Structure 1
Amino acid sequence: MNYARNFNARNFKARNFNARYISMRLFQSAAFLFASCLLISPLVAEELPLQKHDTVARSILAKMTTDEKIGQMIQADTAGLVDPKDVADYHLGSILSGGGSDPAAGNSLQNWTQLYESLQQRAVSTRLGIPILFGIDAVHGHNNVLEAVVFPHNIGLGCSGNADLVQEIGRMTALEMRASGIHWTFAPCVTVPRDERWGRTYEGFSEDPDLVARLGVASLKGLQGDNVSDPTSVLGCAKHFAGDGGTIPGTGKNGWGWDQGDTKVDEETFRRVHLSTYPPVIAAGALTIMPSYSSWNGLKCSGNKYLLTDVLKKEFGFEGFLISDWEAIKQVDPDFKTAIGISINAGMDMAMEPTAYREFYDNLKALVQEGTVPMSRIDDAVLRILKVKAAMGLFADDYDYRANPELQQNFGSEEHRTVARQAVRESLVLLKNDGTFPVDKTAKRIHVAGAAADDLGIQCGGWTIDWQGKSGDVTSGGTTVLDAIKSSVGPDTEVTFSADGAGAEGADVAIIVIGEQPYAEFEGDNKELELSAENQAVVQTVHDSGTPTVTVLFSGRPMIINESLENSDAFIAAWLPGTEGLGVTDILFGDHKPTGKLSFTWPRSIDQLPINHNDGKTNPLFPFGFGLTE
């Protein structure tokens, strides 16, 4: 989503990975084909999850005016509402709070709850009393809310390879979301990033479609639970359909990059790499899917009828509804009205129009009156939306839209942070060790170097409170690596710190923490993937002191690290671990052995990109699946 305003079978040695991975892929491929066959087979049509809600949805649809139907197809942003009364006056089907669209009173749990409840109350007070769906980008925890537990981004979870853990993270995220009343997240992301220069790489679990599908299914199951109508579950949204991870350089929104670009591959490759992650999540119960900004061979996915209707809805059997990305329909055609007609007729069911929702409403109504968009398409879209709402229990006689105060008591709890801490330590990948790792927590002096060691914002990355994220004390309730080190060492160990690396002389060991500045989509596209000069200087300064060093890298993708790797005695890829720095020290001090395995191929130089396993390219810095255990 792009906000235009500033708004395990693990524990194996690395050398044994390939054989086991091949076996795993054969099993997963067979399972995927089996699931795909079930999706297409008419023998199980009566078991599709939304069909049992057809009668209720149709009874509501029969009572609706054309205006009410069109309103159900619109999602406005909380910060873009001209007037809160528009929720009722325009019969809006959904509201979102995009990155930066926070409650005016602040980002506390109480303020988010009040915002949700006030808008929902307007919806349920209308003639038909149809509740809104309230959506948010809770992509690594309920990450827009202060004191929420922020989990590692998906790239780290991909390195854990632990589907059970990913499912539990989804469950914890759902509980924290429902504590605020909010019940729809635009996750999981089942993209397959194929070029690390793309700024959304960290939102993907892996470059490998099978691993993405397996963990995407786990995430969805955690979010939606056994029954999406459970008041502790939330509605998931698989994204971005499809090919957003395969765009080529020079086609992106900025004119030179990758984001919102064009994936130029033949259909066989497109299906094998970029479409193959969707049948498994559909089989697992995905009820909403977000089409991508990106194009496939020059045609915007948000206006591609073949992909949205013929493939996704008919061939894959998807019976839920499609929600466009932020103002994505406007990209389909320079004329907004024309773009609306193309996208809706292509199969788009709900339009995310954060500020132009009134204009969308008027244009779609005119298109229906003109016959450009047939009423049958409107009815199909609204019926899909109503069936999802029915499946969520929003039409039940005992439906209570208010947030559950009991869930609020466990918001940001130690129980949730314990799960996040496990996720951090399982996601870390040990890339190098000359014997300095693990660090002795009883050493006389440990010198910590690098500004990232004491920066929760860098540790969490993008999509944390702010859309692009930011450095510094972005949220509360978390633990930086520096604080985690101080709380983990023995009583006689001195911990010193310098942001620039100075003062390491005489220390028993130095722990260097470096990292990318936070970023999200579009802003995160990067041609070079080089460590900043400041980061490289920290490593060089400590290296020149002669002190043994362990370097920890916070990043949303593999970086070009050759010189800093050479200047470190041990090196750990920690990705974007979130708020729980104690998960890093669990590994640093040897309380747990590292088990993470690279879910992406690590390039040796920028001219190797794109490089992915089994693509025939050789000599990466570290191969897919690499990870030392000691």
Structure 2
Amino acid sequence: MKWISCLSAVATLLVSSSSIAAQDVEKRVSALIERMSLAEKIGQMTQAERSHASPKDVKDYFIGSILNGGGSVPGENERSDWVGMISDYQDAARSTRLGIPILYGTDAVHGHSNVKNATIFPHNVGLGATRNPELAYSIGLATAKEVAATGIHWTFAPTLCVARDDRWGRAYECFGEEPSLVAEFAEPFVKGLQGDTLNGNTIGENRVIATAKHWVADGGTTYGTGDEGYAIDRGDTQLTDEELQRLHISPYLPALSSDVGSVMVSYSSVNGKKMHEHKGLVSDLLKDELGFVGFTISDWSALGEIPAETNRERVVRSINAGLDMIMEPEKWQEFITDLTAAVKAGEVPMERIDEAVRRILLVKASSGLLENPVSPLALSAQGDSVLGNDEHRALARQAVRESMVLLKNEKSLLPIEKKSKIFVAGVHANDIGFQSGGWTLEWQGKSGIDTQGTTILEGIQAAVSTVTYSEDGKGVEGHDVAIVVVGEDPYAEGWGDYRPAPCEKCKPMSLSAEQRQLLDRVTDSGVPTVVVIVSGRPLMVSDQISDWQSVVAAWLPGTEGAGVADVLFGEYAPTGKLPVTWPRNLAQIPINFGDEDYDPLFPYGFGLSY
């Protein structure tokens, strides 16, 4: 497979600038590998989930990595619970013959979002709307500190997908639909999390190892009939090599040149071949041509996506394709058994095992993990003042207001005069779970989550003195302005995919019947109406938008809902620009900037101001 020269040029840059290959680290890792048994090597290639692998399992099986799934938390989900758990795992790992610490990973994808009272930032689609990569650096840095304060070393972020079809339920994890926009955020986000390079003793300096995901083209899957109806998540991306490079590979180049420590491989396929067995795109392109020197990791139980008769065959295909660490949250023992047997039978060369282990250990050594199994911040009293602190919440509030996109503003209804009698309606106005979306305390997210933050309603109440709130919109008469907050329920991968009814778990990409009735009730009153849409993607509103004087896309703002009020009442003028095209109707999807017959409701890059 031949790729254009700009891709190959990155390899030279990485080799010359990478500090992972520093001589002292190389010698240290080589000495470890020479002493390792096959069991110890395969243990380093294994990642298990915290609720399915105890510290004793880490010791007995030499497990090299632990993660927590969404919603899987220790104790009462306090900082001390996390630090205690990580310490227990590290004590077990350090008690083994070679004493190699585990690498603990978590999905801190919009802040340290599994941990109670952490700062929850807007999801990536909102950050894309800010057009502010420097802000992404600051968010990466703040997230790293909060993650480090709990003793965790590694986050599965940033997501560098390019959202080419908003029916995909993970579209909000992307910064936008244009590869150039995604690329702008890749380097600053990685450097915010890791520091300039991994050689800066990342973990000792209270940073964390970053992950570029999901390699590659997860945002370009073809919409079509699957096993469960109309499937798009884990689907197939069908395109030419040139299109693959231009749309989906190019955003990774800044992350690779920033020394990103790991790359997570996608569940999806490219031209019919599952990425987890795609040697051409994982080993040949990512590692050899592009010079990626960190390690690759599979997604959650993703080997099961490979079409094969036995688990052993799936293991062999994935490892030989270039997967270095395998995330087998529950069936990690089966993975160890099958890979051990495959190596002894000659189905996986020992050279491939040694390469995988070398890559993993190089990241562990160069990041400072060997010296700091638990980050210094986690072990200090200072760690108590990091999680959800005022500085980080102020940063999140800034991100919220910069992400707001003003779509419509008839008669300059916005900004609202603070002396006005304000009526607020809609359940989305007063629920941190709704405004934070998926990957917040739980995998799919939920309403009514128990964590610190400010709802949109609370932000409005803090900004003005006369506010009436009604979930169902009754009692609007007599007010000067109505603010109706509507949107999607929380969701994550799979369950967030749009599919035609009936589909119990899927999301409709339109307002519910109850929300439409609420809006009709308010607009029929004659009170000027501002509609705030809380969603991870565009919703189909063409048939109602003419009744609304002002419309604001607030995306999924996270815990700092006061940032919405900042814009509504003119403390800050809106500056956000659409990171994705807003269609007129479902029939237009997929629709992307540059398409023929491009005629959306609002084009990519659209955004009004005051």
TM-score w.r.t. structure 1 length?
0.91
The one-letter code of the counterpart of 1:562 is S
Deviations 1:380-416 (A, max 9, x none): 00000000001111234x7655623213322211110
Given that residues 78 and 115 in structure 2 are in contact (C-alpha distance below 8 angstroms), is that contact kept between their aligned partners in structure 1?
A: yes
Deviations 1:510-563 (A, max 9, x none): 111011000000000013521111121111110011101111000000110113
| One of 56, 80, 88 as aligned partner of 1:110 | 80
Matched, 1:563 2:543: yes
Instruction: Please list, as runs of the form range in 1=range in 2, the aligned pairs for 1:69-88 lying within 5 A after superposition.
Output: 69-81=41-53, 83-88=54-59
Change (3 A) 1:351 1:269: same
Change (3 A) 1:173 1:254: farther
Given that residues 143 and 193 in structure 2 are in contact (C-alpha distance below 8 angstroms), is that contact kept between their aligned partners in structure 1?
A: yes
State which drifts further: 162-171 or 54-63. Answer: 54-63
Given that residues 261 and 294 in structure 1 are in contact (C-alpha distance below 8 angstroms), is that contact kept between their aligned partners in structure 2?
A: yes
| One of 67, 76, 98 as aligned partner of 2:69 | 98
Task: Measure the CA separation in 1 of the matches of 2:28 and 2:270.
Answer: 37
| One of 417, 427, 443 as aligned partner of 1:451 | 427
Change (3 A) 1:252 1:54: farther
Change (3 A) 1:141 1:383: same
Instruction: Please list, as runs of the form range in 1=range in 2, the aligned pairs for 1:497-516 lying within 5 A after superposition.
Output: 497-516=469-488
| Residue 527 (structure 2) aligns with | 547
| One of 300, 303, 307 as aligned partner of 2:274 | 300
Instruction: Please list, as runs of the form range in 1=range in 2, the aligned pairs for 1:445-484 lying within 5 A after superposition.
Output: 445-472=421-448, 474-484=449-459
State which drifts further: 400-409 or 72-81. Answer: 400-409
| Residue 399 (structure 2) aligns with | 423
The one-letter code of the counterpart of 1:66 is L
| Residue 5 (structure 1) aligns with | none
TM-superposed CA distance for 1:206, in Å, is 0.6
Instruction: Please list, as runs of the form range in 1=range in 2, the aligned pairs for 1:318-357 lying within 5 A after superposition.
Output: 318-332=292-306, 333-357=308-332
Instruction: Please list, as runs of the form range in 1=range in 2, the aligned pairs for 1:162-181 lying within 5 A after superposition.
Output: 162-181=132-151
Task: Measure the CA separation in 2 of the matches of 1:585 and 1:225.
Answer: 33
TM-superposed CA distance for 1:255, in Å, is 3.9
The CA RMSD over aligned residues, in Å, is 1.5
Change (3 A) 1:44 1:303: closer
Given that residues 593 and 629 in structure 1 are in contact (C-alpha distance below 8 angstroms), is that contact kept between their aligned partners in structure 2?
A: yes
| Residue 31 (structure 2) aligns with | 59
Change (3 A) 1:62 1:253: farther
Paired residue secondary structure (2:105): strand
TM-score w.r.t. structure 2 length?
0.94
Task: Measure the CA separation in 1 of the matches of 2:115 and 2:587.
Answer: 40
Given that residues 19 and 197 in structure 2 are in contact (C-alpha distance below 8 angstroms), is that contact kept between their aligned partners in structure 1?
A: no
The one-letter code of the counterpart of 2:166 is E
Given that residues 251 and 262 in structure 1 are in contact (C-alpha distance below 8 angstroms), is that contact kept between their aligned partners in structure 2?
A: no
| One of 379, 388, 404 as aligned partner of 2:379 | 404
Paired residue secondary structure (2:510): coil
Regions of 4+ moved over 3 Å: 33-38, 251-255, 398-402
Deviations 1:19-69 (A, max 9, x none): xxxxxxxxxxxxxx997454233x873432311122111111111011000
| One of 109, 124, 142 as aligned partner of 1:154 | 124
Count matched residues: 589
Matched, 1:278 2:255: no
Task: Measure the CA separation in 1 of the matches of 2:422 and 2:552.
Answer: 17
The one-letter code of the counterpart of 1:440 is E
Given that residues 253 and 259 in structure 1 are in contact (C-alpha distance below 8 angstroms), is that contact kept between their aligned partners in structure 2?
A: no
Mark the runs of 5 or more structure 1 residues left unpaired by the alignment. Answer: 1-32
Given that residues 186 and 252 in structure 2 are in contact (C-alpha distance below 8 angstroms), is that contact kept between their aligned partners in structure 1?
A: no
Deviations 1:201-241 (A, max 9, x none): 00000100011011122111110013442331000000000
| Residue 22 (structure 1) aligns with | none
Given that residues 161 and 213 in structure 2 are in contact (C-alpha distance below 8 angstroms), is that contact kept between their aligned partners in structure 1?
A: yes
Task: Measure the CA separation in 2 of the matches of 1:519 and 1:252.
Answer: 20
State which drifts further: 43-52 or 503-512. Answer: 43-52
Deviations 1:573-625 (A, max 9, x none): 00000000110000000000000000101100110010000122321000000
Task: Measure the CA separation in 2 of the matches of 1:143 and 1:160.
Answer: 21
The one-letter code of the counterpart of 1:86 is D
TM-superposed CA distance for 1:252, in Å, is 5.4
Given that residues 18 and 259 in structure 2 are in contact (C-alpha distance below 8 angstroms), is that contact kept between their aligned partners in structure 1?
A: no
Deviations 1:436-491 (A, max 9, x none): 11111111x2100101101110010000000000011x1321000111111111xx
The one-letter code of the counterpart of 1:240 is H
Task: Measure the CA separation in 1 of the matches of 2:545 and 2:269.
Answer: 37
Matched, 1:287 2:261: yes
Task: Measure the CA separation in 2 of the matches of 1:531 and 1:602.
Answer: 15
Paired residue secondary structure (2:90): helix
The one-letter code of the counterpart of 2:65 is S
Mark the runs of 5 or more structure 2 residues left unpaired by the alignment. Answer: 500-507
| Residue 16 (structure 1) aligns with | none
Matched, 1:573 2:553: yes
Change (3 A) 1:335 1:367: same
| One of 344, 348, 351 as aligned partner of 1:373 | 348
| Residue 505 (structure 2) aligns with | none
Amino-acid identity (%): 49
Task: Measure the CA separation in 2 of the matches of 1:214 and 1:352.
Answer: 29
| One of 520, 523, 528 as aligned partner of 2:495 | 523
Task: Measure the CA separation in 1 of the matches of 2:572 and 2:85.
Answer: 42
Matched, 1:362 2:337: yes
Task: Measure the CA separation in 2 of the matches of 1:596 and 1:253.
Answer: 39
| One of 514, 529, 546 as aligned partner of 1:534 | 514
Given that residues 192 and 207 in structure 1 are in contact (C-alpha distance below 8 angstroms), is that contact kept between their aligned partners in structure 2?
A: yes
